[in-house]
């Protein structure tokens, strides 16, 4: 069964998994790297606060933005290869998952400059991952962030005169982001490398899902693709 771009239930499920992984990595990077590796809005705001309060401007902010942009360029080139949307997204997510797994090994090895190496690898990976979620073109989920999801719930609600389209999808994404942040916080309090590895495994699972053959269970996810 072929599905329209943006309506493939596997794309929705994969992005929900990626959103959970992002919740993990954002929590880990904030707690242990003191800057966000994937949430660039917050990174820019944190840098602005440092400047406005005359605190030392940490180079990690510039590093995160620079490597994120480089990852986005790489991801952009990968999405423009002659492949179907699902396989293009799956290919990028598999690469991102492996890169995040490598980052977990780097943290565990504890080389000199471990924090900066980890931040750079994660920021690059998140730039690539955002290219994948944008290319998937699932409504409100081009970025694994809660703002547009929450806005969509309210804007399209019956109270606002809407018909509540995509409510299940939005709630699932918001819940996965929250759960991911909780998991990232709890696991990284015991082992940062294990927490990063769990996030990498989650992204790998999302990429693998996009290569699976059609299955009746996957079609039940169609309710999450309603626009």
pTM assigned to the model:
0.86
Domains of the chain: residue spans and CATH: 21-221 (1.20.1250)
Q: Which of 149-158, 180-189, 208-217, 218-227 has the lowest mean pLDDT?
A: 218-227
- Summarised one tens digit per residue, pLDDT across range 177-203 is 999 999 999 999 999 999 999 999 999
- Summarised one tens digit per residue, pLDDT across range 18-46 is 999 999 999 999 999 988 888 888 888 88
Among residues 120, 116, 145, the alpha carbon closest in space to that of 42 is found at 145
Per-residue H/E/C for 140-157: CCCCCCHHHHHHHHHHCC
End-to-end CA distance of the chain: 19
Looking at residue 31, what DSSP letter applies?
A: I
Instruction: Band the pLDDT of 155: cuts 50, 70, 90.
Output: confident
pLDDT at 142: 73
Compare 13 and 142 and report the one with higher pLDDT: 13
pLDDT at 6: 43
Among residues 122, 128, 124, the alpha carbon closest in space to that of 104 is found at 122
* Percentage of the chain lying above the pLDDT 70 cut: 86
- Arithmetic mean of pLDDT, 78-90: 88
| Vertex 25: Cα angle to 54 and 104 (nearest 5) | 110
Per-residue pLDDT for 14 more than 70?
Answer: yes
Q: Which residues make Cβ contacts (< 8 Å) with residue 114, sequence separation at least 6?
A: 106, 107
- Summarised one tens digit per residue, pLDDT across range 115-138 is 999 999 999 999 999 999 988 887
pLDDT at 28: 96
Compare 138 and 218 and report the one with higher pLDDT: 138
pLDDT at 217: 57
Tell me, rounded to whole angstroms, the distance of Cα 7 from its chain centroid: 19
Across 6-18, b (16+ Cβ under 10 Å) vs e yields ebbbbbbbbbbbb
């Amino acid at each position: 069964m072929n599905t329209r771009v943006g309506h493939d239930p596997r794309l929705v499920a994969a992005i929900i998994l990626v959103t959970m992984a992002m919740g993990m990595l954002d929590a880990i990077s904030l707690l242990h790297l003191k800057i966000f590796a994937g949430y660039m809005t917050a990174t820019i705001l944190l840098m602005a606060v440092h400047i406005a309060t005359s605190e030392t401007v940490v180079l990690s902010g510039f590093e995160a933005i620079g490597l994120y942009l480089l990852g986005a360029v790489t991801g952009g080139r990968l999405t423009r290869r002659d492949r179907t949307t699902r396989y293009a997204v799956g290919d990028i997510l598999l690469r991102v998952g492996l890169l995040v797994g490598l980052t977990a090994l780097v943290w565990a090895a504890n080389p000199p400059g471990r924090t900066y190496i980890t931040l750079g690898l994660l920021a690059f990976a998140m730039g690539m991952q955002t290219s994948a979620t944008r290319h998937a073109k699932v409504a409100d989920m081009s970025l694994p962030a809660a703002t547009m999801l929450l806005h969509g719930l309210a804007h399209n609600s019956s109270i606002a005169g809407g018909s509540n389209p995509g409510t299940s999808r939005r709630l699932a994404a918001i819940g996965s982001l929250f759960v991911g942040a909780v998991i990232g916080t709890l696991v990284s309090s015991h082992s940062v490398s294990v927490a990063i590895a769990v996030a990498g495994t989650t992204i790998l699972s999302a990429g693998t899902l996009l290569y699976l053959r059609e299955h009746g269970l996957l079609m039940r996810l169609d309710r999450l693709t309603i626009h």
